[in-house]
Amino acid sequence: MTPEERRAELAEGLAAVRARIAAACAAAGREEREITLIAVTKTFPASDVRLLAGLGLTEVGENRDQEARPKAADCADLPLTWHFVGRLQTNKARAVAGYADVVHSVDRPRLVRAAVGRADRAGRTLRCLVQVSLDETERREGRGGAAPEDAPALADEIAAAAGLELGGVMAVAPLNGDPLPAFARLADTAAEIRRNHPGAPIVSAGMSGDLEQAIACGATHLRIGTALLGGRRAIVR
């Protein structure tokens, strides 16, 4: 596929996603400007990031440090905001804090302490979201996320940490079940955190298959991969 053909393909995907967002916002009585669209470019090359930037989409999400770090370096000349949206290991937190602008997956105090050192040494302020688990079974299986009842205390710890800024919350809908009640629970947790931290407005929820339900429940940030970029592929630089 030529760069021109790929650009046209991405433009078509972006138009379709934006149409879904517009319809969902209209149904929920919300404004489209309330929604930030993050292109999750996992397994896609840096060239796609450049094409998306040319189409006006400058919020980029990545799941794995070993892929995100070189991609961010390749695109360092672009005015991008990098979101780390995958499960974060403690031993990777310092590396991720070196290039990410927003980390969506802080779910335990050890990650807060690990990120603080790197952000502080780099002279950066790292925006962090509390990842909330919406499914007890998945939480027991180690898929990540703090229990809803533990999220406010973790938010307090992020807000008090030097070099970090509390941005809000993130969640993934349960694998099996209706995402709507799950996202409603996330909205309740987000509202509880905002009572003590009104400057933490982000609700990161909704992916390709459930963005409408997320918008209905107050999501501010959508993490979209397949619907925007197509099926996953091997990285070619």
For 192, the token pair is 């509880």
The answer as to whether 234 is a domain residue is no
What local confidence, expressed as pLDDT, does residue 237 receive?
43
Query: Is a pLDDT exceeding 60 seen at residue 203?
Result: yes
Number of structural domains the chain divides into = 1
Task: Say which CATH number the domain at 193 has.
Answer: 3.20.20.10
CA distance 140 to 174: 13
The answer as to whether 197 is a domain residue is yes
Domain coverage including residue 214 = 3-229
Confidence of residue 168 (pLDDT cuts 50, 70, 90): very high
The answer as to whether 95 is a domain residue is yes
What is the residue-wise DSSP string for 88-151? Answer: --HHHHHHHTTT-SEEEEE-SHHHHHHHHHHHHHHT--EEEEEEB---HHHHHTT---B-TTTH
What is the residue-wise DSSP string for 172-210? Answer: ---SSS-HHHHHHHHHHHHHHHHHH-TT--EEE---TTT
The answer as to whether 147 is a domain residue is yes
Question: Is the distance from CB of 235 to CB of 44 less than 8 angstroms?
Answer: yes
pLDDT in tens, 113-167: 887 666 666 667 899 999 999 987 666 666 689 999 999 999 999 999 988 999 9
The answer as to whether 216 is a domain residue is yes
For 5, the token pair is 């053909």
The answer as to whether 33 is a domain residue is yes
The answer as to whether 237 is a domain residue is no
Question: Is the distance from CB of 112 to CB of 106 less than 8 angstroms?
Answer: yes
What local confidence, expressed as pLDDT, does residue 125 receive?
85
What local confidence, expressed as pLDDT, does residue 175 receive?
83
Mean of pLDDT values over 56-81: 96
Confidence of residue 236 (pLDDT cuts 50, 70, 90): very low
How many residues are given for the chain?
A: 237
pLDDT in tens, 31-44: 999 999 999 999 99
pLDDT in tens, 153-167: 999 999 999 889 999
